[in-house]
Amino acid sequence: MNKFQRWWVKFGCFLTGYDFNLLSNCSEVAVRKVKKYTAALIIISIIWAFVGYTFCNRYIKLGPYESLFGALIATIIVLQIERQILMVQKSSNGMAWVRGTIAVLMAFIGALVIDQIIFKDDIEKAKMQSNQEKVNQLMPLRSAELIRQLKELDTTLHIKEIERANLLADINANPTIKIVEISKSQVPTTTVSRDTLQGTISKVVMKNVQTTNLKSIQNPKYAQLAPLDTQMAALLVQKTKKEAVLLDLRNELEVEVGSKIGFLDELNMMMQLLSESSIAIVVYAIWFLFLLFLELLILISKRSDSDSDYDMAIQHQMAVHNKKIQLLMKSQNL
């Protein structure tokens, strides 16, 4: 056995669970059996690594590295399932039924994922039609709300325009208004009084005097125009944005609906495609049978193979250990 063959047999022992040291002392028949199982496991691992990667990347929406990790997990699970058959000394009918059931389920899942990749373009066409139907259902609901908001904005703008028109009419009619300005001042006033003793007495007294003037000022309603214009400009901006959203609503809904297509949606489309096309059923059946027999390959090979000297060596070791245990128990009883 050259270096490469030795490495390959070690790798096969790692996959199948065989003991390399024990296998090294066995015949070429046992080594060839390991190589046969290794080839089958590699084929199964490659297919399920592809299925695991595709499922994680396409449906769970993971990145390339996370999808590779998912492919590794799927491969490990499949290898452990196959080891349940390989590492059993004698395969029972119950285990064969269980493994057969698992094989059917795995073939069903694998064929679905692979066929969804094969019929990707056909599924995309069905997806586009389905998306358009969903968009047509959502469009009236979303557009009705936007239209209601636009009507409210139009009503508010109309009220503001009437208010502004009234202000302008009043300002044009009365650009200035007259106000009464009242001013008060004190004016010195001389009063004269007569006294029998002192004669005539003059006295200066400050007297409050009120003056009324008419003054023209700018109509104060001019100050109301600037805030009103600001409010109307803000309402027009809101209206423009709402109208832009309404115009682009269908595109937004198509993007939203298209981004939320999951595994079950594509599965329904796949089932619809199978129900409408006999060719699709044939392709699915071919992949299903291929994966099914591939999953059953190791089980059938294990049940049809006769025991090799490796299996006999394991049985001999078990018999020797059982004999040692029996002798130990007898010595303890004595």
Question: How high is the pLDDT of residue 170?
Answer: 81
| 3 state SS of 197 | coil
Question: How high is the pLDDT of residue 281?
Answer: 85
What percentage of the chain reaches a pLDDT higher than 90?
Answer: 3
Calpha distance 230→292 (Å, rounded): 73
Place of tokens 């999953």: 295
Question: How high is the pLDDT of residue 284?
Answer: 84
Give the model's confidence band at 132: pLDDT under 50 very low, under 70 low, under 90 confident, else very high: confident
Partners of 218 in the beta sheet? Answer: 176
Calpha distance 294→99 (Å, rounded): 12
Question: How high is the pLDDT of residue 201?
Answer: 62
Q: Is the pLDDT of residue 262 over 70?
A: no
Number of neighbours of residue 51 by Cβ within 10 angstroms = 24
| 3 state SS of 209 | strand
Name residues whose C-beta falls within 8 Å of residue 58's C-beta, 6 or more positions apart in sequence: 116
If you average pLDDT over residues 60-69, what whole number do you get? Answer: 87
Calpha distance 125→104 (Å, rounded): 30
Give the model's confidence band at 129: pLDDT under 50 very low, under 70 low, under 90 confident, else very high: confident
Please tell me the pTM assigned to this model. Answer: 0.59
Closest Cα partner for 111 from 61, 154, 51?
51
Q: Which residues of 151-182 are buried (b: 16+ CB within 10 A; e: fewer)?
A: eebeeebeeeeeebeebeeebeeeeeeeeeee
Closest Cα partner for 95 from 107, 105, 83, 106?
83
Q: Is the pLDDT of residue 199 over 60?
A: no
If you average pLDDT over residues 11-37, what whole number do you get? Answer: 85
If you average pLDDT over residues 13-20, what whole number do you get? Answer: 86
Mean pLDDT value across the chain: 79
Closest Cα partner for 108 from 290, 288, 299?
288
The one-letter amino acid at 245: V
If you average pLDDT over residues 161-181, what whole number do you get? Answer: 79
Place of tokens 């001389």: 190
Residue 298 near residue 85 (C-beta atoms within 8 A): yes
| 3 state SS of 87 | coil
Give the model's confidence band at 72: pLDDT under 50 very low, under 70 low, under 90 confident, else very high: very high
Residue 137 near residue 305 (C-beta atoms within 8 A): no
Residue 91 near residue 85 (C-beta atoms within 8 A): yes
Calpha distance 81→194 (Å, rounded): 138
Two tokens at 320? 């020797």
Question: How high is the pLDDT of residue 1?
Answer: 61
If you average pLDDT over residues 63-68, what whole number do you get? Answer: 89
Name residues whose C-beta falls within 8 Å of residue 262's C-beta, 6 or more positions apart in sequence: 59
What percentage of the chain reaches a pLDDT higher than 70?
Answer: 83
Place of tokens 């508010």: 156
Residue 25 or 253, more confident: 25
Question: How high is the pLDDT of residue 68?
Answer: 92
